[in-house]
Structure 1
């Protein structure tokens, strides 16, 4: 894989972040996520396929407004892209069982995406989401 391919892979992640996370663009999600994707970050017992991405974005957008994603660092090697990012927004709706607080919040995450043919094929993430939710209660 050459440098141009690695940059293209990084661009796929940036496009997902802007179109899907910030704007909840379901069409873009369907274009950028493979039908056979495995989401290793899905809740135990829940779907870990493409539907898990739709479900998370529904939860995110029902609980937060003015969502912005900032890519802080990104490294690509072969078919993997590692991204450290911050997802921020206003907690204006019910978010994963937590009633709105009106507070500005930030989810800090490091994710690993394996791409196939320019689409998400596997997804892993570590974030501060649990700690954030408990601090809102």
Structure 2
């Protein structure tokens, strides 16, 4: 496959995240993730199957909401919210994905529980323009 542009990489990653996390369409999702996918996240088992098995184990209410998306060369960084995963607070995530041959090839993340307005020392929401209800 020819080299993809940063704009194409953003589109690929957004479609991949929606397909896996929101639609739970594992067959289609497998077309976005490399079969040699490298996982750097400390809470996800290795490879594409490690990620897919984690999502299978989470409640069906799991949702991913993308926010800021930045791409440079083969890397895409997403700032997003994972909710409905069964914990008290949503996770605000910074996901870094490396694209190779049009596929998600490598992943790193930083996760943080979303703060309420009462918990926010800055007085500003961590994601979007309002606090969670």
Query: What TM-score comes out, normalization by structure 2 length?
Result: 0.73
SS for the counterpart of 1:128 is strand
Say whether 1:13 aligns with 2:13. Answer: yes
The structure with the largest strand share of the pair is 1
Question: What residue is the counterpart of 1:100 in the other structure?
Answer: none
Give the CA deviation at 1:90. Answer: 6.5
Question: What residue is the counterpart of 1:86 in the other structure?
Answer: 81
SS for the counterpart of 1:17 is helix
The structure with the largest helix share of the pair is 1
In the alignment of these two chains, the number of paired residues is 111
Calculate the aligned-residue CA RMSD, in Å.
2.3
Query: What TM-score comes out, normalization by structure 1 length?
Result: 0.71
User: Within 2, Cα distance between the matches of 1:35 and 1:42?
Assistant: 19
Unaligned 5+ segments in structure 1 are 96-102, 130-137
Unaligned 5+ segments in structure 2 are 114-133
Q: Which runs of 4+ in 1 moved over 4 A?
A: none
SS for the counterpart of 1:31 is coil
